[in-house]
Amino acid sequence: MKRAAFTNRWLPILLLLPQMAIIVVFFYWPAWHALTSSFYLQDPFGFSETFVGFANYTSLWKSAPYARAASFTVVFSLLVTFLSLAIALLLAVKADKVIKGAKAYRTALMWVYAVAPPVAGVMGIILFNQSWGPLTRFLTMLGWDFKLGVNYYDTAFAMVLVSVWKQIPVNFIFFLSGLQSIPKSVREAALIDNRSASGRFWDITFPLLAPTGFFLLITNITYSLFDTFGVIDTLVKGEPGNNPMTLVYKVYVDGFRGNDMGGSSAQSVILMVLVLAMTIAQFRLVERRIHYT
Amino acid sequence: MAQVTLSGITKTYPNGVTAVHPASFSIPHGEFIVLVGPSGCGKSTMLRMIAGLEDISAGDLHIGARLVNHIDPADRDIAMVFQNYALYPHMSVRKNIGYGLKNRKIPQAQIDQKVAEASALLNLDDYLDRKPSQLSGGQRQRVAMGRAIVRDPALFLFDEPLSNLDAKLRNQMRIEIKALQRRLGVTSVYVTHDQVEAMTMADRIIVMNEGRIEQIGSPSEIYHSPATTFVASFMGAPPMNLLHGEILNGMAQIGDLRLAAAPKAASGAVVIGLRPEDITPDAAGPLMLDIALVEELGAHRLLHGSLLGQPISLHVSKDIAASTGPLRASFKPETLSLFAADTGVRL
Ligand SMILES: Nc1ncnc2c1ncn2[C@@H]1O[C@H](COP(=O)(O)OP(=O)(O)OP(=O)(O)O)[C@@H](O)[C@H]1O
Ligand SMILES: [Mg+2]
Residue owning the nearest CA to atom 6 of ligand 1: B13
Q: What is the pLDDT of residues A226-278, one digit of tens each?
A: 888 888 888 887 666 778 888 888 888 888 877 788 888 889 899 999 888 88
- A43 interface with B at CB cutoff 8 Å: no
The pLDDT of residue A104 is 78
Q: Specify the amino acid at residue B78.
A: I
Query: Considering only CA atoms, which of B68, B72, B9, B20 is closest in space to residue B43?
Result: B20
Rounded to an integer, what distance in angstroms lies between the CA atom of residue A265 and that of residue A34?
Answer: 5
What is the nearest CA distance from B88 to chain A, expressed in angstroms? Answer: 6
Rounded to an integer, what distance in angstroms lies between the CA atom of residue B22 and that of residue B7?
Answer: 8
| Residue A11 maps to a domain | no
Residue owning the nearest CA to atom 19 of ligand 1: B40
What is the nearest CA distance from A257 to chain B, expressed in angstroms? Answer: 52
Q: Tell me which of A97-111, A128-142, B259-273, B276-290 is least confident.
A: A97-111
Cα–Cα distances in Å, from B59 out to A63, B36, B120, B224? 77, 21, 41, 32
Of residues A192, A194, A292, nearest to B80 (C-beta): A192
CB proximity under 8 Å: A 264-293 to B: 292-293
Q: Cβ distance A52 to A261 under 8 Å? A: no
Q: Cβ distance A215 to A76 under 8 Å? A: no
Percent of chain B at pLDDT exceeding 70: 99
Residue owning the nearest CA to atom 31 of ligand 1: B40
Q: Tell me which residues have their CB closer than 6 angstroms to ligand 1.
A: B 13, 15, 17, 19, 37, 39-45, 193
The pLDDT of residue A4 is 67
User: In degrees, to the nearest 5, what angle opens at C-alpha B214 toward C-alphas B209 and B215?
Assistant: 140
The pLDDT of residue B1 is 46
> Which of residues A145 and B59 earns the better pLDDT score?
B59
The C-alpha torsion from A268 through A270 and A272 to A273, rounded to 10°, is 170
Above 90 in pLDDT, residue A123?
no
B89 vs A contacts (CB less than 8 Å): 186, 208, 292-293
The pLDDT of residue A58 is 86
Q: What is the mean pLDDT of residues B127-136?
A: 92
Residue owning the nearest CA to atom 27 of ligand 1: B39
Interface test with B, best of A193, A202, A293 (most B CBs within 10 A): A193
For A247-259, the three-class secondary structure string (H helix, E strand, C coil) is HHHHHHHHHHHCC
Rounded to an integer, what distance in angstroms lies between the CA atom of residue A282 and that of residue A276?
Answer: 10
The pLDDT of residue A293 is 46
CB proximity under 8 Å: A 173-192 to B: 183, 185-186, 188-192
Rounded to an integer, what distance in angstroms lies between the CA atom of residue B160 and that of residue B48?
Answer: 12
Query: Considering only CA atoms, which of B155, B141, B151 is closest in space to residue B114?
Result: B151
Q: Specify the amino acid at residue A19.
A: Q
The pLDDT of residue B266 is 72
Q: What is the pLDDT of residues A177-221, one digit of tens each?
A: 899 889 999 999 999 999 999 999 999 999 999 888 888 988 899
The pLDDT of residue A44 is 67
Q: What is the mean pLDDT of residues A161-166?
A: 89
Burial A126-138 (b: 16+ CB within 10 A, else e): ebbeeeebebbee
Nearest listed ligand to the Cα of residue B18: 1
Above 70 in pLDDT, residue B31?
yes
3-state secondary structure of A4: coil
- Provide the pLDDT confidence category of residue A289 given band limits of 50, 70 and 90: low
Residue owning the nearest CA to atom 26 of ligand 1: B39
Interface test with A, best of B47, B81, B99 (most A CBs within 10 A): B99
| Residue A22 maps to a domain | no
Q: What is the pLDDT of residues B322-343, one digit of tens each?
A: 888 899 999 988 889 999 988 8
The pLDDT of residue A288 is 63
Residue owning the nearest CA to atom 14 of ligand 1: B42
| Residue A267 maps to a domain | yes
The Å distance, Cα B38 to ligand 2 centre, comes to 9
Query: CA torsion sign, B100 to B102 to B106 to B111?
Result: positive
Beta bridge partners of B36: B192, B207
Q: Terminus-to-terminus CA distance in chain B, angstroms?
A: 32
What is the nearest CA distance from B94 to chain A, expressed in angstroms? Answer: 14
What is the crossing angle of helices A261-288 and A55-62, to 10°? 80
Interface test with B, best of A188, A192, A200, A201 (most B CBs within 10 A): A192
Query: Considering only CA atoms, which of B74, B115, B71 is closest in space to residue B93?
Result: B115
| Residue A275 maps to a domain | yes
Q: Report how many domains make up chain A.
A: 1
> Which of residues A7 and B295 earns the better pLDDT score?
B295
| Residue A38 maps to a domain | no
Q: Cβ distance B72 to B243 under 8 Å? A: no
Q: Tell me which of A50-64, A279-293, B129-143, B182-196 is least confident.
A: A279-293
Above 50 in pLDDT, residue B234?
yes
Nearest listed ligand to the Cα of residue B36: 1
The pLDDT of residue B82 is 93
Q: Cβ distance B82 to B129 under 8 Å? A: no
Residue A255 belongs to domain spanning = 50-286
Nearest listed ligand to the Cα of residue A184: 1
Nearest listed ligand to the Cα of residue B55: 1
* CB atoms closer than 10 angstroms to residue B342: 10
| Contacts with B271 (C-beta within 8 Å, 6 or more apart), sequence order | B229, B242, B243, B244, B245, B338, B339, B340, B341, B344
CATH number of the CATH domain containing A235? 1.10.3720.10
ipTM of the complex: 0.86
Q: Specify the amino acid at residue A158.
A: A
| Residue A261 maps to a domain | yes
3-state secondary structure of B103: coil
- A209 interface with B at CB cutoff 8 Å: no
| Residue A28 maps to a domain | no
* Segment A123-126 long-range contacts (CB within 8 Å, at least 24 positions apart): A123/A162, A124/A148, A124/A158, A124/A161, A124/A162, A124/A231, A124/A234, A124/A235, A125/A234, A125/A235, A125/A237
3-state secondary structure of A32: helix
Query: Considering only CA atoms, which of A242, A81, A229 is closest in space to residue A154?
Result: A242
Q: What is the mean pLDDT of residues B97-109?
A: 91
| Contacts with B98 (C-beta within 8 Å, 6 or more apart), sequence order | B111, B112, B114, B115, B150
Q: What is the mean pLDDT of residues A54-72?
A: 86
| Residue A167 maps to a domain | yes
3-state secondary structure of A47: coil
Rounded to an integer, what distance in angstroms lies between the CA atom of residue B310 and that of residue B331?
Answer: 17
The C-alpha torsion from A281 through A285 and A288 to A292, rounded to 10°, is -160
Q: Cβ distance A199 to B85 under 8 Å? A: no
| Residue B316, Ramachandran bin (φ over 0: left; ψ between -120 and 50: alpha; else beta) | beta
Q: What is the pLDDT of residues B203-219, one digit of tens each?
A: 999 999 999 999 999 99
Q: What is the pLDDT of residues B36-78, one digit of tens each?
A: 999 999 999 999 999 999 999 999 999 988 999 999 999 999 9
- How many helices (H) does chain A have, and how many strands (E)? 14, 2
The pLDDT of residue A30 is 87
B-side interface with A, Cβ within 8 Å?
51-53, 72-75, 78-80, 82-84, 86-90, 99-100, 103, 131, 133, 147
